[in-house]
Amino acid sequence: MKLSLYAISSILFLLILMHVAATFKDWSGYREYIVKELEKMYDAKVHVGGKIEVSLITPKLTIHNVYVQYNKNKEQKLSDLISAKKIEIRPSLFSFSLQPKSISFLGMKSNKENLLNIINTKANDNIVDILIKDSQISFNADTINIKEVAIKKNKQFFGEVQIGDNNYDFSGKVNVTKNNVHISVDSNFANLLFKGNRNQEELKGNLVLTINNNSDSMSDLAKIINLSFLSYVIPSENIEISSNINLNESEFTATDLKIESKSMQGTGIIQNDRKSDHTNINISFSKVDLKNGSHKTTDMKGLLESFREVVPKNLSLDFNMEASNIQYQNRILDKFHATLKFANGEINVDTLLQFPGTNNISRLSGRVSNNGNLSEFNGDILIKGESFISHILPSIKMQEREKSQFTASSKLYLAPRILSLSDIRLLNNKESWQGSIKVNHTKKHNMIDSKFSIHNIDIDKYDYSLFSKVQWLKNLKYDVNIRTSVKDSIFNGTKIEDLDFSLKIQENKLVADKIKLFGEDFDITGSVKILVDQKYTKPLLDVNLTGNKFNGNIFKLPKLLEVKRNSRNEINQIQWSTKQLNFLDEKGDFDANVQIKTTEFKIGQNVLKDFNLDTVIRNNTITIKQISYILEHGQMFFQGYLKAGSTHTKFSIANLDTKEVIGVNNINGKISLSGEIKTQGTSFDDWASNLSGNVNFQAQKIEFTNVDFNSFITKLLSSKNKPEISKLAYVDIYNGSTLFENISGKVSINSGVCSTSSQFSIDQASGSISSNLILSKFSLTSIFRLFFILPNHNSPLYIEAHLDGPIWCPKMSFDVDQIYNTLVSKKNS
């Protein structure tokens, strides 16, 4: 027993002594031998920059600061080498060589190609465990942080890696026997299971792949394999892919291929001729739902970055895909077909998309080529169908009755950070467009530069109300510069012969400057700006236009009155418009500053001279600082405010031509008005019923045709009986006309009733008028008093007349008995 204890103690002491000796021994002298063994082991050039340590109790060789170069015949940058802070090699306890049973790489930095070289070199030996910890692997422009990855010689593996901010863990096993193959992989991103049978000639089995793509998993994977477009194609939802696999010496086939998820269903087949290494892939989707939000919004810059990779020259592949029942933006696209042919480092592309409706198609064809470092696409786009703008810009829709066939074509160029559409040509009925668009992505900002020439466009055909919402301006991540020339356009029924402008968008600011409008009724220049900034509670619209001529008919003004006439063009009825006013409906999302100054401003058939408009919109209130202009029949000045449900106005009108403005043929002359009024309501009819305020007026030389007060008074003085007076009052008075030299007075308005008190003078008399006008009904009730002096008398007398009825045809009446008694009593006195 004692002998055994002594033996054990001696062995332990010997091991400790050997460990201490190994620890303090300088193993650097064996560096050359160790390097040669490692180079033999990995078939690569190895450089050891640090110290070498040996532990004998638990046999382990530790090498510090190791660099490995796989391509011995080519000088490489340090970043292209494999570097490891420490490599631990654990040989077998009974082995007297560096043949390891496990290798650990700690703090390793490598690219994906070198990593695969390490794994393939040792994993295929079936005699070594590989462990990688606390390392970084570069995949193109992205990096995977490896917390731990282990590959066991029993074909089991597990690990945990970090991509961006996301952590992924996985585990799996490969079990290959004489007759069976079983492969399983489990992770929080994807699960793979393959079960099959094999013999000396072929392998057959079933593959099931489930992708748990509810987060950024596919985006992370797409970055790693540098196929970023996959993150836009593959939906962010669980996807199951299954297929029967057949592999033999001559070919590989995946039959009964099924792809299923919540938003898509497809079937297909994959065939690879192993002798020619040519692959055919055919996939048909019976359901594609692009509206459920599972597809990532396309990032054009990221998509263009995929052109930094080149197609391998030895890749020979035909890819055919069909899809039907495609749901997109609340519509169903009928059919999509794409053919991609990979050969000699190039891709020939041919796609066809069929839209709803008659002959609505889009075709893209072209070729992807490369210069050995970068790829580029050169191709052609053809679009045919109805309402092209609704397909290209869904926020602008064409009115159904205005749809017509169109044809659009363009050259398309794609390269890293560049998208270019050149030689754009579009024909839509009489409309034609020509131009170009170029998109540049740089590190600091993204830029869209374009130029368009447009002819014969009828803007009235398009409903662009949704486009007027400026949320898109806040979200736009591009600086934009668009130079546009428009010839012979129609806007709100008004023809604009020439319109030139430059549209710029930068830092939440839209500016349309260098605006030039020319034509029969246009000669104007200026700018229009939309500012979206935190210092504004709402987007600010700033309009500044100046010039010689402006046709105001391009603005749709609400109709004030509804006039009905008979067959002789005589007025039968006048009433206020009951249509709901919507001055602020389309402006509620904006604040605005609007200034327009022009020598001539055409509105309707009238031409306003020296027109000046200065208006501000804030918090759904339109404040009119000034509207002033000169008419041939008057000079106008207005101030006030207009908001939802109410308005307030101060105004001054000088020398207004009553015939031109009122539109009643038997009144002619000049009138001046000034005052202040206010009202409330949602239509002109409401405004008339609720109007209140005070107005002063002064008129000179107002002539009423078809009524002759002067002759009436002259003949009245010589009348002798009631029949003569009656004939004068109801017949003779309507022959001739009366010139009122001066009329002045004041109108007091309360709840839509205008109460007037005024004085006037004519050749044979002076007088006063008291009247009430109910605005809502255009109903007049008034009384005239005519003062005159009988021959050979000193004191005046007066007679009364009533003027009642609608203002377009009031009825005048006299009290014949009162007139007779007044004249008789005065003559007899």
Q: What percent of the chain has pLDDT over 90?
A: 25
Q: pLDDT class for 470, splitting at 50, 70, 90?
A: low
For residue 319, pLDDT over 80 is answered with yes
What are the residues facing 382 on neighbouring strands? Answer: 363, 409
Of 246-255, 459-468, 648-657, which gets the smallest average pLDDT?
459-468
Residue 610, pLDDT score? 93
Phi, psi of 795 (to 5 degrees): -95, 145
134, 127 Cβ separation under 8 angstroms: no
From 13, 32, 29, select the one nearest 21 (Cα to Cα): 13
Residue 22, pLDDT score? 43
Token pair for 497? 């012969």
From 704, 659, 443, 689, select the one nearest 577 (Cα to Cα): 689
pLDDT digits (tens, 9 = 90+) for 199-228: 988 999 999 999 887 656 666 666 665 555
For residue 229, pLDDT over 90 is answered with no
Residue 673, pLDDT score? 87
Residue identified by tokens 């297929």 is: 243
Tell me 234's DSSP state.
S
For residue 764, pLDDT over 50 is answered with yes
Q: Over range 221-236, report the average pLDDT.
A: 62
Neighbours of 597 (CB within 10 A): 17
Q: Over range 33-54, report the average pLDDT.
A: 78
For residue 249, pLDDT over 50 is answered with yes
From 692, 683, 472, 425, select the one nearest 579 (Cα to Cα): 683
pLDDT digits (tens, 9 = 90+) for 45-96: 888 888 888 776 667 888 888 888 876 555 555 556 788 899 888 876 555 5
Of 2-16, 94-108, 407-421, 433-447, which gets the smallest average pLDDT?
2-16
Tell me 57's DSSP state.
T
Sorted by sequence, the CB contacts under 8 Å of residue 226 that are 6+ apart come out as 139, 140, 141, 306, 308, 309
Neighbours of 718 (CB within 10 A): 8
Residue 485, pLDDT score? 93
Q: CA-CA distances (angstroms) from residue 414 to 152, 304, 379, 380, 522?
A: 45, 7, 9, 11, 41
Residue 188, pLDDT score? 83
Question: Rounded CA gap, 125 and 121, in Å?
Answer: 7
User: Where is pLDDT greater, at 717 or 435?
Assistant: 435
pLDDT digits (tens, 9 = 90+) for 767-817: 888 999 898 888 889 998 888 887 777 778 888 888 888 887 788 888 888
678, 646 Cβ separation under 8 angstroms: yes
pLDDT digits (tens, 9 = 90+) for 362-371: 899 999 998 8
Helices (H) and strands (E) in the chain, counts: 13, 47
Residue 16, pLDDT score? 46
For residue 467, pLDDT over 60 is answered with no
Question: Rounded CA gap, 519 and 495, in Å?
Answer: 8
DSSP 597-651: EEEEEEETTEEEEEEEEEEEEETTEEEEEEEEEEETTEEEEEEEEEETTEEEEEE
Residue 20, pLDDT score? 46
For residue 552, pLDDT over 60 is answered with yes
Here the contacts of 677-683 (C-beta below 8 Å, separation 24 or greater) are: 677/648, 677/649, 677/651, 677/749, 678/646, 678/647, 678/648, 678/649, 679/646, 679/647, 680/645, 680/646, 680/647, 681/645, 681/646, 682/580, 682/581, 682/645, 683/576, 683/577, 683/578, 683/579, 683/580, 683/581
3-state secondary structure 13-49: HHHHHHHHHHHHCCHHHHHHHHHHHHHHHHCCEEEEC
What are the residues facing 316 on neighbouring strands? Answer: 278
From 607, 603, 614, select the one nearest 640 (Cα to Cα): 614
Q: pLDDT class for 253, splitting at 50, 70, 90?
A: very high
Residue 451, pLDDT score? 94
Residue type present at position 730: Y
Question: Rounded CA gap, 657 and 700, in Å?
Answer: 11
For residue 525, pLDDT over 50 is answered with yes
Sorted by sequence, the CB contacts under 8 Å of residue 730 that are 6+ apart come out as 814
Question: Rounded CA gap, 190 and 214, in Å?
Answer: 11
Residues in the chain: 829
Q: CA-CA distances (angstroms) from residue 66 to 61, 109, 539, 685, 796?
A: 13, 11, 61, 91, 128
Question: Rounded CA gap, 282 and 37, in Å?
Answer: 49
Residue 90, pLDDT score? 82
Q: Over range 700-707, report the average pLDDT.
A: 81
Question: Rounded CA gap, 415 and 300, in Å?
Answer: 11
Of 379-388, 413-422, 531-540, which gets the smallest average pLDDT?
531-540
Q: Over range 105-120, report the average pLDDT.
A: 79
The number of C-alpha atoms within 13 Å of 539 and in the hemisphere containing its C-beta is 23
Residue 15, pLDDT score? 46
SS3 219: helix
Token pair for 136? 């970084």
User: Where is pLDDT greater, at 532 or 263?
Assistant: 263
For residue 391, pLDDT over 90 is answered with no
Q: Over range 695-719, report the average pLDDT.
A: 83
Q: pLDDT class for 17, splitting at 50, 70, 90?
A: very low
Q: Over range 128-132, report the average pLDDT.
A: 85
pLDDT digits (tens, 9 = 90+) for 567-604: 877 777 788 888 887 766 555 567 889 999 999 998 87
For residue 289, pLDDT over 70 is answered with yes
Q: pLDDT class for 333, splitting at 50, 70, 90?
A: confident
Q: What is the pTM of this model?
A: 0.72
End-to-end alpha carbon distance in the chain: 173
Sorted by sequence, the CB contacts under 8 Å of residue 7 that are 6+ apart come out as none
